[in-house]
Amino acid sequence: MTIQQLKYQFKLVAGLLLSPFGLFAQNNDSATIKRISDEIMSNGTAYENLRVLCKKVGPRLSGSPQAQKSVEETARMLLEAGADTVYLQPCMVPHWVRGEKEKGYVQLLADGSKYVLKLCALGNSVGTGTKGIRGEVVEVRNFNELEKLGREGIQGKIVFYNFPMNPTYIRTFMAYGESGSYRTRGPSRAAKYGAIGVMVRSLASNNDDFPHTGTTVYNDSFPRIPAVAISTNDAEWLSVKIRSKSNLVAYFRTTSEMLPDAPSFNVVGEIRGTVFPQEIITVGGHLDSWDLAEGAQDDGAGCVQSIEVIRAFKATGIKPLRTIRAVMFMNEENGGRGGAKYLELAKEKKEQHIFALESDAGGFTPRGFGLDMSAEKRNKIAAWKDLFANYGVYQFSEGGGGSDIGPLKAIGTALAGLIPDSQRYFDLHHAATDTFEAVSKRELHLGAVNMAALIYLVDHYGL
């Protein structure tokens, strides 16, 4: 600990000792957080910044012109928010393109009728070629069923993974994590047994007509076969037909392809610390989005909330002790290159990252924070919970963080993730419904209030 740090700690401890049970400090923190809240709820710019990101820029898939436009726009937003410094961190990102609009149908061979499917290619999937693929469909409910069928039951067919998100999980991210393996690993596991293509039930909490995309990850030990998601309503219909022994075949055509890696950037804006500038607190979200919609909840919301933290500190006159850094990470959706680059540069510069907070679960009403850190640090943060009660946050649970800040754990950084109410998130996630109109200004700004409050407390008291 430096002499400067010792002096500050002495002043802090002395202030607590001079007040009974630290009530003065608690009251002062409460007043500061109220000031932050009043500023954001009255004058916040996050919602209007999100409007620009969604309506002026639009979908921001890594490597696309829109992704580059989002880099330029958020750099401008950070400057307007009052960041002391704004700069870009170059990184190379995957450049997958969807191509022409996908087509697909199921044909009932008894009468020749065709049922048009609502489908979309999975991210990073290879295309079918111009003729598309056609074949018998085999439904599997899990990987055990796939293994039992083996090559004899799968060779030359289209595998239909029909694994619904578990409705009994009130924490919907648990259901998403369980179902997600069929999207990410399903195509390669089917290819192992000779499948010519894969259809995956969309990862959605409720039944609707919108296909939800997302990344698939190929295993290079097996052929790369085309993969699509079909809407939950179509999955229900198809399952009924298959189980009623209807004689049918499916057809789909996609022209997606992976192009060479493209140059892109993380966008960084920071306020330099006044006492411990070498200690860095990161707050961020990911700038890229899938190409089916505007990426409002995933994750435009997290980006504009992080920018709002910078703006609120400046607007309320808070001079942080430590360096506060807002980061718009690139390429969370189909590669994670931005988060990896951030860690790489942190190591290269020997930076001291003490805490990182990510918002990547939507801009809905905030409920709490997930904390991935030692029990001692977790307990310290949980001791502040009464300060958040008036702002709707009550949950301080073990486990959290996020995909982009996760790599920082390798250098000992304490991680946290904002936990908004998740009941509607997977109606929109990776689908055409993830638009600006689906975001509530009050909910979005209240999330930013709680993020700024946590950043303030960690900055003021350390971990």
pLDDT at 12 over 90: no
Residues 273 and 251 in one domain: no
Q: What is the mean pLDDT of residues 107-128?
A: 97
Written in H, E and C, the secondary structure of the chain is CCHHHHHHHHHHHHHHHCCHHHHHHHHHHHHHHHHHHHHHHHHCCHHHHHHHHHHHHCCCCCCCHHHHHHHHHHHHHHHHHCCCEEEEEEEEEEEEECCCCCEEEEEECCCCCEEECCEEECECCCCCCCCCEEEEEEEECCHHHHHHHHHHHHCCCEEEECCCCCCCCCCHHHHHHHHHHHHHCHHHHHHCCCCCEEEEECCCCCCCCCCCCCECCCCCCCCCCCEEEECHHHHHHHHHHHHCCCCEEEEEECCCEEEEEEEEEEEEEEECCCCEEEEEEEEEEECCCCCCCCCHHHHHHHHHHHHHHHHHHHHCCCCCCEEEEEEEECCCCCCCHHHHHHHHHHHHCCCEEEEEEECCCCCCCEEEEEEECCHHHHHHHHCCHHHHHHHCCCEEEECCCCCCCHHHHHHCCEEEEEEECCCCHHHHCCCCCCCHHHCCHHHHHHHHHHHHHHHHHHHHHCC
Domain end marker among 255, 280, 301: 255
* pLDDT given at position 27: 78
pLDDT at 4 over 70: no
Residues 204 and 317 in one domain: no
- Structural domain of residue 245, as residue ranges? 99-255
- The tens digit of pLDDT for each residue in 91-115 reads 999 999 999 999 999 999 999 999 9
Domain end marker among 230, 255, 280: 255
Residues 160 and 309 in one domain: no
Residues 103 and 78 in one domain: no
Residues 357 and 247 in one domain: no
pLDDT at 20 over 70: no
Residues 356 and 440 in one domain: yes
Domain end marker among 255, 276, 292: 255
CATH number for the domain that contains residue 120: 3.50.30.30
Instruction: Show which residues are catalytic.
Output: 332
Mean model confidence pLDDT for the chain = 95
Residues 69 and 182 in one domain: no
Residues 233 and 269 in one domain: no
Residues 91 and 103 in one domain: no
Residues 165 and 218 in one domain: yes
